[in-house]
């Protein structure tokens, strides 16, 4: 199994291009199930999760072609030839559940395995199924599979979400485009990925209003057509690479970055005395040279501080001046990286959903193990600021969410390499 070897090597300087968003692309790809005509996605990231979604869609009857070195995904589903999303594929990735809504909307029935993904919390499916049942679906759980069907198609409904779930909002949004009548999602998620999906569906002929707010209204149409759509910039990759100069020192420009994608995160960096400047090409981040200041972080739904940047932010705060408190409110099991950072000399105490980090003068390189996707890159970031060598194992997690990670870090002067098993 491959590992990543990082050697603390001083400041990083230069430019890093930011890819299209993994989470957005995984949401957009199932939209092909809603139409007989092709859907073309540009600026698609080249990641193992994208390949897994392509494999799943292919198993359902979609023709998938990667063009221009994989950054363009051409998807065509003239016919949904198979209505079963099997466990062997679905178990690899949480986003696989997003085929449920589109298949019910177009086909009227679907059998979808309960999904897998990172082990960072329960993330139950009942918020999805409860909403679809309000739209007239009949859903039964048997042997780990959701068996769903409709009598005469889905129907519009008012759906009050008990939690602003991103995945549930996406599933309902797609399902509602072909439902009879009007669907209103109350307490909808507001993430940029939701806005991106709505914009793509609108290009396909959907009638949608209110994306980016807590109330989304969808008027069902008889059919959707094909479209071409660029995947939005990956705000989590953006935030991750913004932390490279913050941790190691130096100045890096993130090409394609936009502050509105990460407002709360940028605010916290500035509070820690890191400079964030908007440029014509993106965002420029600079460590002013002094030791960063401690800050308190509480993860929240968008537009709050993203849970997907909590592990990386903890790596920065390990060497901050003073004590920082990080509160995780989204996923109940997302501090598994803390013991690995402690192996590198960090001073961290975890009690339930709260981690207290007392800054130390310097981290020291050590063998560490990635526990999930975001934790894996937090170890790399910590290694940039550590004395000596850090070896990060189980990097298959990393491949799910970051493309060309070694090349991008190396381009700004980091000493990093992938070590084959």
Domain that holds residue 177: 22-230
Instruction: Give the whole-angstrom CA distance, residue 271 versus residue 122.
Output: 32
Our answer to whether residue 118 is catalytic in this structure is yes
User: Is 187 annotated in some ligand binding site?
Assistant: no
pLDDT digits (tens, 9 = 90+) for 183-241: 999 999 999 999 999 999 999 999 999 999 999 999 999 999 999 999 999 999 999 99
Do both 312 and 355 map to the same domain?
Answer: yes
Domain end (from 230, 250, 277): 230
pLDDT digits (tens, 9 = 90+) for 375-406: 889 999 999 999 999 999 988 888 878 889 99
Do both 285 and 239 map to the same domain?
Answer: yes
Q: What is the mean pLDDT of residues 14-30?
A: 96
Strand pairing category for 145-150 and 137-142 = antiparallel
Compute the radius of gyration of the chain from its Cα atoms: 22
How many residues in the chain? Answer: 421
pLDDT at 116: 54
Arithmetic mean of pLDDT over the chain: 93
Number of H helices, E strands in the chain: 14, 26
Catalytic residue among 118, 200, 266, 318: 118
Contact (Cβ atoms closer than 8 angstroms) between residue 271 and residue 293: yes
Q: What is the mean pLDDT of residues 233-254?
A: 97
Q: Which of 101, 78, 90, 102 is nearest to 53 (CA)?
A: 90
pLDDT at 372: 82
Do both 319 and 372 map to the same domain?
Answer: yes
Contact (Cβ atoms closer than 8 angstroms) between residue 241 and residue 414: no
Percent of the chain having pLDDT more than 70? 97
Residue 124 pLDDT grade (very low, low, confident, very high; cuts 50, 70, 90): low
User: Is 22 annotated in some ligand binding site?
Assistant: yes
Do both 108 and 218 map to the same domain?
Answer: yes
User: Is 347 annotated in some ligand binding site?
Assistant: no
How many Cβ atoms sit within 10 Å of the Cβ of residue 174? Answer: 30
Total structural domains within the chain: 2
pLDDT digits (tens, 9 = 90+) for 298-330: 999 999 999 999 999 999 999 999 999 999 998
pLDDT at 66: 81
Q: Which of 249, 288, 296 is nearest to 271 (CA)?
A: 296
Domain end (from 230, 248, 277): 230
Do both 13 and 80 map to the same domain?
Answer: no
pLDDT digits (tens, 9 = 90+) for 90-104: 887 778 899 999 999
Confirm whether pTM is higher than 0.85: yes
């Amino acid at each position: 199994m491959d590992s990543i070897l990082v050697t603390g090597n001083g400041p990083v300087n230069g430019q890093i291009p930011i890819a299209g968003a993994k989470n957005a692309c995984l949401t957009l790809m199932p939209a092909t199930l809603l139409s007989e005509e092709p859907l073309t996605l540009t600026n698609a990231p080249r990641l193992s999760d994208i390949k897994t979604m392509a494999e799943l869609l292919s198993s359902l009857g979609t023709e998938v072609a990667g063009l221009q070195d994989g950054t363009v995904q051409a998807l065509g589903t003239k016919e949904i030839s198979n209505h079963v999303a099997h466990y062997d594929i679905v178990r690899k990735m949480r986003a696989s559940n997003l085929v449920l809504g589109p298949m019910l909307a177009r086909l009227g029935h679907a059998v979808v395995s309960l999904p897998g993904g990172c082990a960072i919390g329960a993330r139950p499916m009942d918020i999805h199924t409860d909403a679809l049942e309000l739209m007239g679906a009949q859903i039964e759980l048997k042997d780990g599979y959701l068996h769903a069907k409709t009598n005469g198609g889905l129907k519009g409904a008012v759906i009050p979400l008990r939690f602003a779930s991103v995945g549930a909002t996406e599933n309902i949004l797609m399902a509602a485009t072909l439902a009879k009548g009007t669907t209103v999602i109350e307490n909808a998620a507001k993430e940029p990925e939701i806005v991106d999906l709505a914009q793509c569906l609108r290009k396909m002929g959907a009638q949608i209003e209110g994306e980016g707010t807590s109330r989304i209204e969808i008027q069902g149409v008889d059919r959707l057509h094909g479209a071409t759509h660029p995947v939005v910039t990956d705000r989590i990759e953006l935030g991750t690479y913004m932390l490279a100069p913050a941790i190691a020192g130096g100045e890096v420009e993130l090409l394609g970055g936009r502050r509105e994608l990460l407002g709360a995160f940028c605010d916290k960096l500035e509070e820690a005395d890191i400079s964030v400047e908007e440029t014509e090409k993106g965002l420029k981040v600079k460590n002013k040279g002094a030791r960063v200041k401690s800050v308190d972080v509480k993860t929240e739904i968008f537009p709050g501080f993203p849970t997907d940047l909590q592990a990386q932010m903890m790596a920065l705060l390990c060497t901050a001046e003073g004590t920082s408190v990080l509160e995780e409110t989204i996923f109940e099991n997302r501090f598994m990286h803390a013991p690995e950072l402690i192996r590198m000399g960090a001073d961290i105490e975890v009690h339930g959903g709260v981690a207290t980090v007392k800054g130390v003068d310097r981290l020291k390189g050590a063998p560490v193990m990635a526990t999930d996707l975001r934790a894996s890159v937090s170890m790399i970031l910590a290694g940039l600021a550590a004395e000596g060598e850090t070896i990060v194992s189980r990097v298959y997690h990393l491949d799910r969410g970051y493309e060309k990670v070694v090349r991008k870090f190396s381009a700004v002067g980091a000493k990093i390499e992938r070590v084959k098993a």
